[in-house]
Amino acid sequence: MKFARFTPVVNILSGVVFGSGESWSAKTSWSIENMTGNTLFVLNDFIEGVHMKSSFYLILTVLSLALMMGALPDQLVLAQTEIKLPPPSLTGTMSVEKAILGKKSVRRFSPDALDQSQVAQLLWVANGNLPVDAVAGATYKAIPSAGGLYPLEVFLVTGQETVKGVPAGIYAYEARTHSLKLIAQGDHRMALAHAALSQTWLAGAPAIIVIGGVFSRSTIKYGNRGIQYVFMESGNSNQNLYLQAEALRLKMATVGAFQEAQVSSVLKLQSDVTPLLLVGVGR
């Protein structure tokens, strides 16, 4: 009867998981034997208990397997608030010159999902950090920036299974940790396409990378000229994306025509972040 000692725990768990702890308790008949002694719980209907425990563990096992295989719809997966990205590759198979020759804007994408490593690479070239300089202690980024003030912030928008290992959502790219921080769950690509003057082809991109800027980071030093620097720097980031996409044999096109307030609202951007460019990427 040792088994019976764990049944109350399973019972509580069932309440947490299924919200039906009471009905399970009602179905299971207990008696308490030797209440003044060792408080030993005895399960009257041992067979029923074993049966229920088996069902419980079976459900848990099936759920775990489904989670591992990515078979559950995104809504059922507990929100993963941070996704650590695979480290960027520092060697490629295409020369810079060849990438410049080949780069072009393509607006039609295959529905095939992108690999997480491809998206991680693109985010890294758009606003990633280079290894910390051991002597100077400074962190240099993949893009040049006036006064090293780095006013850009980059975001990722994905659909249902459009980027492997990244559930549908809106994410902030955290350069310091090379990871994604969840802003909102769900597929927001069509809302973004509508905010981009209904350029609906954008919603067909498996990944949309958004380049945003925080003007105050530059204007605090350069005044109004800092505003221009932020726009220039978004161009640096965008050109890196074009060249990296070409080197990865991916397709992309940049969108600058959009309603700024609408994009900010769809992406739930903080008030100091201004969206500057939307970049649709796919195969």
Ligand X SMILES: Cc1cc2nc3c(=O)[nH]c(=O)nc-3n(C[C@H](O)[C@H](O)[C@H](O)COP(=O)(O)O)c2cc1C
Binding site for ligand X (CB under 6 A): 104-105, 107, 199, 253-257
Cβ at position 194, least distance to ligand X in Å = 13
Cβ at position 96, least distance to ligand X in Å = 16
Residue nearest to ligand X (CB): 256
C-beta of 139 vs 254, nearer to ligand X:
254
Cβ at position 199, least distance to ligand X in Å = 6
Buried-state track 118-135, b at ≥16 Cβ within 10 A, e below 16: bbbbbbbbbbbbeeeeee
C-beta of 83 vs 125, nearer to ligand X:
125
Q: Is the dihedral of CA 144, 147, 149, 151 positive or negative?
A: negative
| Phi and psi at residue 208, to the nearest 5° | -120, 120
Closest CA to 63 of 43, 78, 42: 78
Cβ at position 220, least distance to ligand X in Å = 25
C-beta of 107 vs 181, nearer to ligand X:
107
C-beta of 27 vs 104, nearer to ligand X:
104
Closest CA to 10 of 57, 45, 42: 57
Radius of gyration (Cα) for the chain, nearest Å? 26
